[in-house]
Structure 1
Amino acid sequence: MASSPARENFDNGYRTGTAPWVIGEPQPAVLELEREGRFRGKVLDVGCGAGEHTLHLAGLGYDVLGVDFSPFALELAKANAAARGIEARFEVADAMRLGGEPRYDTVLDSALFHVFAPEDQLAYARSLHAVTKPGGVVHVLALADTEPSFGPQVSETAIRTAFAEGWEVAELGLSRYRGWVNERAAPLVGEPVGTVVDSAAWLARIRRT
């Protein structure tokens, strides 16, 4: 990618219903992480979008905050919370400038890392480092460059490079990410518009040192 996408691009994706990652349910890989007990303490869902993961974790009793830089996405998230009767917290925040003291034990990044340009990936990792407690864990689920997909993709090397300083990459392997095919992605993945597909994704567990 030449540059990271602008806020209005995300707002428009939510407003027009063309964001392929808004599937109305949590990612299967994230559900499996929770079943395995990989979330603990205070949780940050960064780039939470319409809030599916924040809502799922809050409904299970986790102390979780969902943040996104798209106000329109957070309007959807809050509406989803109200419709389901779940008390959940959401805030507008820039993932590149989270700031403050280390306060989170677990951070979830579902499909945010891969939207950043390489230089921004490094800045993003530094931003996460500032708010993650020593020994805390960041889970990164990012579309992998191993097959055609419906969104921006990254390499395994990109993840390892971004989290090289101040972090330990404890696990990094292939998983799947679920999304629906829009008009732009249809020729790439060879599936009709509106089809829900599971695309190759990296799933990393990264410990803050």
Structure 2
Amino acid sequence: MESTPQPDFFDRAYAEGDPPWVIGEPQPAVVALADRGELTGRILEPGCGTGEHTVHLTRLGLDVLGTDASPTAIARARDRARDHGVAARFAVTDALDPGDLGRFDTVLDSALFHVFDPGDQARYARGLAGLVRSGGVVHLLALARTGAAAEFGPVIDAAAIRAAFTGPVWTVEEIASTTYRGIVTTDLADAYGQPPGTVVDVPAHLARIVRT
């Protein structure tokens, strides 16, 4: 990402309909994390968007707060929680300037880190350091660079994660390969050989980062 989009870019995207990352359900990689019991304690989901993950995790009985800089996204997330009969918690918060939200045991970042430019990636990691308890874990799901002529969205190399989450505050324990599910847009239809609206799984990184 050459420069970090302004929050109103995302607010417009949520106001105009469903952006391609809104699939109406949690990401399979996040569901797998929850099923393995890796999302524990007090959980923060920055960049929660329309709330699919926060609602899913709350339904499982987990203590989770979803935040996003987009007021429209948070309004839609609250509507989703109400429609599903789930008492999920949300707040409008800029992930680059989160303030004092308290301390968390786990952070779930699904496709937020990769929208930042390198400077803001480091700033984001520094902000999380003040929110995560010692021994806490950040699970980071981000689109992986493939070198294709058309990428699904903002993409990063694994090195970007290691550069931002650096010692002595952080230890990047693992960066595994996984997939991220999204919806093909009109602009990407030719590149993917699929009609707009098709659900696709694209390469992604899944990092486990420990607060030291």
Q: Give the TM-score of the pair, scaled to structure 1.
A: 0.96
Question: In structure 1, what is the Cα distance between the partners aligned to 2:105 and 2:163?
Answer: 22
1:141 equivalenced with 2:141 (yes/no): yes
Which residue of structure 1 aligns with residue 17 of structure 2? Answer: 17
Question: In structure 1, what is the Cα distance between the partners aligned to 2:7 and 2:121?
Answer: 16
Question: In structure 2, what is the Cα distance between the partners aligned to 1:190 and 1:130?
Answer: 44
Which residue of structure 1 aligns with residue 114 of structure 2? Answer: 114
**Equivalent position SS for 2:73:** helix
For residue 150 of structure 1, report the CA deviation from its aligned partner: 1.4
Question: In structure 1, what is the Cα distance between the partners aligned to 2:12 and 2:147?
Answer: 27
Q: Report 1:1-209 matches (<5 A).
A: 1-100=1-100, 103-146=103-146, 148=148, 149-165=151-167, 166-209=169-212
Question: In structure 1, what is the Cα distance between the partners aligned to 2:118 and 2:190?
Answer: 26
For residues 6-55 of structure 1, what are the alpha-carbon distances to aligned partners after superposition, in whole Å with 9 as ceiling and x for unaligned?
Answer: 11211121112251110000000000001111011100011000000000
* Structure 2 stretches lacking a partner, 5+ long: none
CA RMSD of aligned residues (A): 1.3
Contact 1:150 1:188 in 2 (8 A): no
Identity of aligned residues (%): 53
For residue 190 of structure 1, report the CA deviation from its aligned partner: 3.4
Question: In structure 2, what is the Cα distance between the partners aligned to 1:81 and 1:18?
Answer: 17
For residues 162-194 of structure 1, what are the alpha-carbon distances to aligned partners after superposition, in whole Å with 9 as ceiling and x for unaligned?
Answer: 101310111111100000011233344333211
**Equivalent position SS for 1:97:** coil
Q: Which runs of 4+ in 1 moved over 6 A?
A: none
* AA in 1 matched with 2:106: T
Question: In structure 2, what is the Cα distance between the partners aligned to 1:124 and 1:109?
Answer: 11
Contact 1:99 1:130 in 2 (8 A): no
* AA in 2 matched with 1:80: R
Name which of structure 1's ranges 169-178 and 101-110 shifts more when overlaid on structure 2. 101-110
**Equivalent position SS for 1:150:** coil
Figure out how many residues of one structure are paired with residues of the other and give that number: 209
* Structure 1 stretches lacking a partner, 5+ long: none
Contact 1:98 1:130 in 2 (8 A): no
For residues 79-128 of structure 1, what are the alpha-carbon distances to aligned partners after superposition, in whole Å with 9 as ceiling and x for unaligned?
Answer: 00111100010000010112337610000000000100011100000011
